[in-house]
Amino acid sequence: MLVRNHDARRAPPHSSEFLWDTISRHRTILIAFPALFLAMAAIYVSMRGSTYTAASRLGIDNRILQFNPQEAILPTSSISSPLLQSQVAILLSDKIARDAMKALGLTNDPEFLPKSSVPETEQRKEAQVLDKLQSKIHASRIGESYLIDVRATSVDPVKAAKITNAVVKAYLDDQANSNADVANSVSPWLRSKVASLGTTARVVSEATPPLKRDQLPDGFILALGLASGLVFGFTLAFTFDWFDNRIKTREAVERVCDAECFGMLPCMKKAPWYSKLATRNRSPRTNRQTVWTDPSLLWAINNPQSHFAHALRNTRAAILEHKDSNPVIIGITSPASGEGKSVVAANLARLMAITNQKVLLVDADPYNPGLTALLSPGAAAGLAQALDGRNLPDILWTCDKTGLEFLPNPASENGSHPGSLLNATNEKFFNELAREYDRILIDLPPLDPVPDVREAQPIVHGILLVIEWNKTSAEQLAMILDSAGPVRSKLIGVLLNKASDKMFRGRRSPSPQSHASAHTKSKFNPSSRGLGMDPPGDNVGKGTPPVPHIEWTAGE
């Protein structure tokens, strides 16, 4: 049964764990976008100009003549909204702006002069200056009052105040001249009364140079840019996290598998070329063939305080806790190939062996027998021959320092590997092995696309699933498990392998000790940490120390 993306792959969106997981996975986004937005804000602040706006207020009045029943002529005030709007229009008219322009000599002011390099006529230059001046003048009625707000903007605060006052003065002069013309047009006996009539204005507040510029403070712009970057970054990170349904967290894999996730294993860095060299010689004590082993298979022993070792130790402890079911035969598999199950199997088997348990590691992957290639490349017989009745001690390879025994799976004489050898017909053989060993770890093929793991269910007592971090989606994993028969019911637990370094930042892990367990002394040198594939959090020494040596011996 499929599970919804956001339920199957992570903690609830409101949980703090979900938040910190998202921050950890998308740290680059959460740093890059705030930095980008902050840089854009800084560029804007450095390039924007500064302007200042000065303001003045005018009080408007309109007096008319009113005749009473006694034929007396009395002046009275009459102001309407259309009248005030007409006064605003007069303040913004060409005539008022031209008078202010001439009074201040703005035709020679660089702020108002056209930037064109082509010579202009005086008339055209004056028209352009007038047009620019009018764009900087604003007038409006203040609410429902009889006051008009007059403003002018300039790059210079003093100039802004001068322009505002010049506009107001031009308007007052125009109104005075208009009223005088009306008074002169009537008969002498009415001239004294008419002189005080008409629209009049008075300056309520004169414009002064503004102390603050019109633009927002630089600090506010920078803070706004930073905040916008954080919001954008978090939105993008959570969007990616919401629609990306690949398994990245322990909680996500537990929801899909319905089994405990024992931990995350860091992605090992590539070992240098010389660590891959296999050198065969003879043990002076047993005259058995010995080989150099791949350092990745020694990692948990070589670095007992690393995140890698801690996760496998937790796995070992969880397996030992199953006292009632006592899963002796444990299959180790993964959803697909290349997810690191063989390396996990070898390290886990070695950790179990050093606790005085009798442990057998079996390579049962016929498609990619990686453990055989790494641990016993010279093996001529293995699992297929053991099932055919060959004497088991003659086939097993033994690690002298840990006591771990290994059953390889070499190719046949024609170069091909045997097919699936783990099925119900061989159940008796493995039951007999289970009586001789405390634990048998079987490196199985992947779940997809072959059915080998399903066929092996009568043999194995439990399954350990190794999933590569950030590779398999929740839906894919659910479908693979649903199509694998009883595999889900036999799951002991899950390990997330090859996790990114960023998943371990902030999680302290003590530096590796210069000694290993007392069970792994002698030729095995656990203090040699320069393997060229150091997991996150480990302090690896400089230089190129020799590759750790361990002996795998084939039985006689």
Residues 237 and 299 in one domain: no
Contacts of 546 (CB under 8 A, 6+ apart): 525, 528
Query: Same domain for 164 and 221?
Result: no
| Residue where one domain finishes, among candidates 181, 208, 235 | 208
Largest interatomic CA distance in the chain = 145
DSSP-based helix, strand, coil % in the chain, nearest 5: 45, 15, 40
> In this structure, are 87 and 33 located in the same domain?
no
Same domain, 320 and 376: yes
Domain finish residue from 208, 231, 263: 208
If asked whether residues 262 and 382 sit together in one domain, one would say: yes
84, 172 Cβ separation under 8 angstroms:
no
CB 37 within 8 A of CB 228: yes
Structure tokens at 147: 């006051």
Q: 359, 437 in Cβ contact below 8 A?
A: yes
Residue 512 lies in a domain: no
Q: CATH number of the domain that 155 lies in?
A: 3.30.1890
Cis before residue 188, ω within 30 degrees of 0? no
Residue 514 is assigned to a structural domain of this protein: no
The whole-angstrom separation of Cα 164 and Cα 162 is 5
296 and 386 fall within a common domain: yes
Whether residue 548 contacts residue 321, with contact meaning beta carbons closer than 8 Å, is answered with no
Q: Spell 377-396 as b/e; 16+ CB within 10 A means b.
A: eebebbbbbbeeeeebeebb
Q: Are residues 443 and 343 in contact, defined by beta-carbon separation less than 8 angstroms?
A: no
**Single-letter amino acid, residue 545:** P
Please choose, from the candidates 120, 75, 127, the residue with its C-alpha nearest in 3D space to the C-alpha of residue 101: 127
Residue 204's domain comprises 52-63+80-208
Domain-located, residue 323? yes
Q: Are residues 232 and 200 in the same domain?
A: no
Per-residue pLDDT at 485: 87
CA distance 353 to 336: 27
Measure the CA–CA gap between 173 and 30, rounded to whole angstroms: 62
Q: Is 101 left (phi over 0), alpha (psi -120 to 50) or beta?
A: alpha
DSSP letters, 368-401, are --HHHHHH-TT----HHHHHTT--HHHH-EEETT
110 domain residue, yes or no: yes
Closest CA to 260 of 542, 462, 69, 435: 462
Tokens of 401: 């320092």
Of the candidates 474, 472, 464, 471, the residue with the CA atom closest to the CA atom of residue 495: 464
DSSP lists the bridge partners of residue 491 as 463
- Quickly list H helices, 412-535: 427-436, 452-455, 474-482
Residue 459 sits at φ, ψ, to 5 deg, of: -95, -45
* CB-CB contact of 100 with 166 (8 Å): yes
Q: Is the peptide bond before 446 cis (omega within 30 degrees of 0)?
A: no
Angle between helix axes 27-47 and 16-25 (nearest 10 degrees) is 70
Is 168 inside a domain boundary? yes
Looking at the structure, tell me whether residues 37 and 112 fall in a common domain: no
Please check whether residue 554 lies inside any domain of the structure. no
One domain, residues 191 and 238: no
DSSP class of residue 348? H
SS3 at position 455: helix
Catalogue the E-assigned strands of 8-96. 52-67, 73-77
Do 380 and 415 have their domain in common? yes
pLDDT in tens, the chain (556 residues): 333 333 333 445 445 556 777 777 788 899 999 999 999 999 999 998 899 999 999 998 876 655 555 555 555 556 788 889 999 999 999 999 999 999 999 998 999 988 776 767 888 889 999 999 999 999 999 998 899 999 999 999 999 999 999 999 999 999 888 877 766 665 565 555 555 566 888 999 999 999 999 989 999 999 999 999 999 999 898 888 777 788 888 888 999 999 999 999 998 765 554 455 444 444 444 444 443 466 788 888 888 889 999 999 999 999 988 766 788 999 999 999 999 999 999 999 999 999 889 999 999 998 899 898 888 888 889 999 999 999 998 889 888 778 889 999 998 765 555 667 888 889 999 999 999 999 999 999 999 988 999 999 999 999 999 999 988 888 999 999 999 988 999 999 999 999 887 777 665 554 433 333 333 333 333 333 333 333 333 333 333 333 334 444 444 3
Q: Is 22 exposed, middle or buried (0-12, 13-18, 19+ CB in 10 A)?
A: buried
Looking up tokens 């633009």, which residue turns up?
215
Looking up residue 412, the CATH number of its domain turns out to be 3.40.50.300
Q: What is the 3-state secondary structure (H, E, C) of 189-249?
A: HHHHHHCCCEEEEEEEECCCCCCCCCCCCHHHHHHHHHHHHHHHHHHHHHHHHHHCCECCC
- 205: tokens are 């507040």
Contact by Cβ (8 Å): 250, 263: yes
Q: What is the pLDDT of residue 532?
A: 31
Quick count: other Cβ atoms within 10 Å of Cβ 508? 7
In this structure, the answer to whether residues 228 and 361 fall within a common structural domain is: no
Answer yes or no: is 58 within a domain: yes
pLDDT of residue 537: 34
Domain boundary among 504, 536, 551: 504
The reported pLDDT for the residue numbered 92 is 95
3-class SS string, 471-500:
CCEHHHHHHHHHCCHHHHHHEEEEEEEEEC
Torsion angle (degrees, nearest 10) of CA 509, 510, 514, 518: -80
Q: Which H or E element spans position 556?
A: none
Residue 517 placed within a domain: no
pLDDT of residue 32: 94
Q: How many domains does the chain have?
A: 3
Q: 296 and 167 in one domain?
A: no
Dihedral sign for Cα 482, 485, 490, 491, please.
negative
Query: Is there a contact between 498 and 338 (Cβ–Cβ < 8 Å)?
Result: no
Q: Is the pTM of this model over 0.75?
A: no
Strand, coil or helix: what is 545? coil
Single-letter amino acid, residue 273: W
Beta-carbon contacts of 71 under 8 Å, excluding residues fewer than 6 positions away, are: none
Residue 405 and residue 392: Cα distance in Å, rounded? 11
